[in-house]
Structure 1
Amino acid sequence: MLRLSQSSFTLAFLTFLTSTLLWASVISHQLQEECEFDYIGGSNKGPTKWGAIKREWANCNYGKMQSPIDLSTKTIQVVNSMGQLNKRYIPFGAILKNRGHDVSVGWEGNAGSIEINGTQYFLKQTHWHSPSEHTINGKRYDLELHVVHQSSNPNAKYPLAVVSFLYEIGPPDSFLSKVSREIKELSHGKKDQMKLGSINPNEIRRGGINYYRYVGSLTVPPCTEGVIWSINKQIGTVSQEQVMLLRSVVEHCAEKNARPIQPLNGRQVVQLYDPNP
């Protein structure tokens, strides 16, 4: 009788274990299906496969001006008299969004613009990547903020301009602190977006008068090329808690949402001085 009970227990345990493993496999598959693309090495939706997922994403694999890149100070040309970032930002209503692969703050109307080499680019949205996507002399930082602008001229040579800020662990970032409460609400799964009211873009970390500049692409599919990148040379600080908060909101496949470094392919990178930081 005891032997029968032990056999029954063993059978029940094996049945439970098999069911648990099967359920875990189903959940894992469902989570993977939720991610249109991911950052997981070896995944069939990972960065090396992005260009094959959709035809319109082909640039991700075959483009010659892709981002991010490593900013090697050994090869960067210093320029002191061109390419200033003339900023004219104004407060406007904004929306916080969980886009699955990142957290973004987008402005609902005209929140101002920047001007680069005579072309005006209007502020659209800002979002975070952790760890940083761009590296400096091979060093990857803890966080990167992208401030995305778009030209209203359909014939502009470079239709997009992104200003980027790099961060290392230290005191909290003030702009992130301003929206942390709302980000926490997103992390609890209550909403995937919410209105923030009026947000002044000038509250985004500025500082520093030196930028690295080159022409590249968006760092997420469809990896559109023709983007003017301006990466602030001054490194800001962000708390570990803020980085973890951003990671807690997005899909599991994008918790570390940094695209690998892309080949420079002969592109010129300059370091420029901006007298209007």
Structure 2
Amino acid sequence: MENLMKQTHICMKTICCFVLISLLLLSVRVKSNSEEFSYDPCSEKGPKFWGELNIEWAKCGNGNIQSPIALSKWTADWNRGLGCLIRNHKPANAILRNDGHEIIVDWKGNNAGSIKINNVDFQLQNYHWHHPSEHTQDGKTYPLELHMVHFNNVTQKIAVVGVLFEYGPRDPFISMIERDIKYLNIEGGEEFLGKVDPRVARLDGRKYFRYIGSLTTPPCTEGVIWTVMEKVQTVAPYQVELLKQALVEEKNARPLQKINGRNVFYFDPFSWQSVAAE
């Protein structure tokens, strides 16, 4: 009996040590990820220094078609020839991640459907949020911006759909994962969500802006096809606070980048100006 108690005690100590080491490793991993770069403009790892922090991030400093940018339908080229954005999303298993910079819903295995741009399908990869918004519309910055990230395996191109949010009724997609975000805020890391329907995130309206830019986080990869919806959705203030509290920094938005003579298009299927631009 005494031997059994000793063995049990040793076993419990071993388990406790293992759990402690695992938590320490997790905290180190989360901390190191969050310290790779910063959104603080006063930090030596802030946005203006991203291109110097890692040789693979050089585009953050010397790229010519970087994102985000200021958008306005009054300065954009109106073009109905772009066609409506075709959305073919569907429910699939997803993982919720907190990497210290963003709250991310990851769909694995290209099973969550796609969007179609110029007859090319781009498979849904993830949703993540930036606060405040990274893109501006007619000079206005919004409290939140959702990025729907897509990828085409053949062309190796990235296509991102941006959705802006103003304060109002709560966002239904964030509502689905509120409890999970709170759990990550305490525990960190990631959590399996089961099947998540990306269509719950609203894409109302057909009008949008289209331009070629980059990822808005390191490595700032260029050649990204951006579609930013003109229709502004609503989010409850507490939902934005929930996203903020889960991250290391209160703000995770990159400053506006120079357009550098790029073509920025505005699509409105019902406008005579769009017809004239064809």
TM > 0.5: yes
Please, which of 235, 247, 272 is the counterpart of residue 232 of structure 2? 235
What are the residue-to-residue correspondences of 1:28-39 with 2, within 5 Å? 34-39=34-39
The answer to whether residue 113 in structure 2 is matched with residue 112 in structure 1 is yes
Q: CA deviation at 1:248?
A: 0.6
Which of 159, 162, 168 is the matching residue for 2:160?
162
Shift, 1:119, TM fit: 1.5
Q: Gaps spanning 5+ residues in structure 2: where?
A: 1-30, 271-278
Alignment check: 8 A CA contact 1:97 1:103 kept = yes
* Structure 2 residue aligned with 1:178: 176
- Is 1:266 aligned to 2:261, yes or no? yes
Secondary structure of the equivalent of 2:253?
A: coil
Query: So what's the TM-score if we normalise by structure 1?
Result: 0.83
The CA distance in 1 between the partners of 2:189 and 2:100, in whole Å, is: 9
The offset of 1:60, in angstroms, is 0.3
Deviation string 1:207-262 (CA, Å, 9 cap, x unpaired) is 111011100000000000000000010011111100010011111xx320010000
Residue type matched to 1:49 in 2? F
Question: CA offset at residue 32 of structure 1?
Answer: 8.9
Residue aligning to 2:196: 199
Aligned partners of 2:225, 2:238: CA distance in 1, in Å?
A: 31
Equivalent residue number for residue 256 of structure 1: 251
* CA deviation after TM superposition for structure 1 residue 273, in Å: 3.5
Distance 1:184 1:273 in 2: 39
Secondary structure of the equivalent of 1:229?
A: strand
Q: 1:266 to 1:151 in 2, by over 3 A?
A: same
Kept in 1, the 8 Å contact 2:77–2:265? The answer is: yes
**Aligned partner of 1:218 among 204, 215, 225:** 215
CA positional deviation for 1:182? 0.4
Alpha-carbon distance in 1 for matches of 2:200, 2:72: 29
Matches within 5 A, 1:54-65: 54-65=54-65
- Partner residue of 1:69? 69
Q: 1:89: which partner in 2?
A: 89
Of 182, 187, 197, which residue of structure 1 is paired with 2:185? 187
Tell me by how many angstroms 1:34 deviates: 4.7
Separation in 1, partners of 2:126, 2:184: 18
Instruction: Return the offset for 1:33.
Output: 8.9
- Number of residues of Structure 1 aligned to a counterpart in Structure 2: 240
- What percent identity do the matched residue pairs reach? 46
Report the 3-state secondary structure (helix = DSSP H, G, I; strand = E; otherwise coil) of the residue aligned with 2:169: coil
8 Å Cα contact 2:34-2:101 kept in structure 1: no
- Judge conservation of contact 2:34–2:99 (CA < 8 Å) in 1: no
TM-score, normalisation: structure 2: 0.83
Measure the CA separation in 2 of the matches of 1:89 and 1:206: 11
User: Deviation of residue 66 (structure 1)?
Assistant: 0.1
CA contact (8 A) 1:81 1:273 kept: no
1:64-83 deviations in whole A, cap 9, x for unaligned? 00000000333111112324
Amino acid at match of 1:75: T
Structure 1's unaligned 5+ residue stretches are 1-30
